[in-house]
Amino acid sequence: MPGTDSTDEELVDVYRHHGDLQALATLYNRYMDLVFGVCLKYLEDRETSKDAVMNIFEELVVKLKKHEVDNFRSWVYTVAKNHCLMYLRSNKQLKTVELPESLVQSAENPHLNGKLQQEEHFRLLEKCLQALAIDQQQAVRMFYLDEKSYKEISDSTGMDWNRVRSLIQNGRRNLKNCMDKNS
């Protein structure tokens, strides 16, 4: 019985010749993060991507028996990408929703207020952001606006990783409280 120290090729062979789902699970487990990353890239939704990861495993149960696979990593990447593209192309994702008349633009109900409300929301967000302590403000801006990781923030500011995490969490909570209080 193959173990976690078996090569990809060995696990593929065991699955193809013996139908050993444990071998396939061990193999897939090695690349699950890769598959999730591909799904997240294409589907842009964490929950949908998690579901896709499970669906792709079910596809592999059938497909791996039918295909000669020399490089499992690149093959599973392609399977994941194709799965996501097919998912996006399917009409199952297109849903029609009836909108209330109050939300539909007409001569009596122009949608100029929406843009004004959004601008007001951004002004309030900036005001609340400036109200944060300087180190919280810096960490929140770097994380959310500059899209830096905790490690990147830690490296560029010289702050401990846990301090950065704490600043971002507390800053986010303080921002939310300020926004709720002022809206």
CATH of the domain at 76: 1.10.1740.10
- CA distances to 16, 38, 91 from 87, rounded to whole Å, are 27, 13, 9
Residue 34 sits in the same domain as residue 87: yes
In a domain, 145, yes or no: yes
In a domain, 12, yes or no: yes
What's the confidence (pLDDT) of residue 89?
87
Residue 163: which domain range? 115-182
What's the confidence (pLDDT) of residue 111?
52
DSSP state of 148: -
What's the confidence (pLDDT) of residue 175?
86
Cα separation, 38 vs 3, whole angstroms? 26
What's the confidence (pLDDT) of residue 144?
83
What's the confidence (pLDDT) of residue 2?
67
- CA distances to 1, 51, 56, 75, 129 from 174, rounded to whole Å, are 54, 33, 40, 46, 9
Contact 39, 53 (CB under 8 A): yes
Q: Is 79 exposed, middle or buried (0-12, 13-18, 19+ CB in 10 A)?
A: buried
Cα separation, 12 vs 18, whole angstroms? 10
- Rg of the chain on CA atoms, in Å: 24
What residues of the chain score a pLDDT lower than 70? 1-3, 91-116
In a domain, 107, yes or no: no
Residue 84 sits in the same domain as residue 12: yes
- CA-CA-CA-CA torsion sign (33, 61, 27, 70): negative
Residue 123 sits in the same domain as residue 161: yes
For the chain, how many structural domains are there in total?
Answer: 2
